[in-house]
Amino acid sequence: VVSAIGVGCNEWQVCEAALRERDFDCFLLAGRYTLLEQDALDTFLPLCEERDVAIVLGGGFNSGILATGPIKGAHYNYAEAEEPILERVRQIEAVCKKFDVSMKAAALQFVLAHPCIPTNIPGTRTKTHLDQNLGLIEAPIPVEFWAALKKEGLIRENAPTPT
């Protein structure tokens, strides 16, 4: 007996097209709603809210750069990050430092603030990483931090944030 059906992919546009054609219960979406990418807020995530569809989000660190920071060789979307992305991560990192917030914690908590995203699958290679991620999910982050990211144009004004 099938109790739920979904689609998994790396592009929210594919998921949206599928949802406009058929009913789905969930989507596994990798790396397309993060601190660095919020275009899914335009049409896809509102459609998911309207249709009561859940998103299981993978790749919340955008292939690593939101975990490692803008270091040499940092990866974004499965490739070495280019300068515009490195600069944007530097800007996010600066706000994190100002508020004494871990960028990893911010990346993990940001995605879970969206009402359609009850599940986040961060990349975890070891039990130590798992334990760290669990701690980061619960790390306190002041609401002023999220307001600062919005004020500086680093996340969209309409992006839900933790309260």
Please list the pLDDT of the chain residue by residue as tens digits (163 residues).
989 999 999 999 999 999 999 999 999 999 999 999 999 999 999 999 999 999 999 999 999 999 999 999 999 999 999 999 999 999 999 999 999 999 999 999 999 999 999 999 987 889 998 999 999 999 999 999 999 999 999 999 999 999 8
Query: Which residues, listed in sequence order, are joined to residue 120 by a DSSP beta bridge?
Result: 57
Supply the pLDDT for residue 22: 96
Residue with tokens 């592009």: 11
> Global pTM?
0.94
- Please report the domains of the chain, with CATH numbers, ordered by start residue: 6-151 (3.20.20.100)
**32-78 pLDDT, tens digit each:** 999 999 999 999 999 999 999 999 999 999 999 999 999 999 999 99
**Whole-Å CA distances, 76 to 30, 60, 73, 95, 98:** 12, 11, 10, 20, 24
Predicted local distance difference test score (pLDDT) of residue 34 = 97
The C-alpha angle 119, 133, 39, rounded to 5 degrees, equals: 50
Query: What pLDDT is stored for residue 123 in this prediction?
Result: 76
Cβ–Cβ < 8 Å for 46, 20: no
Interstrand relation of 119-121 and 79-80 (parallel, antiparallel or unpaired): unpaired
Dihedral of CA atoms 17, 23, 24, 30 in degrees, nearest 10, equals 10
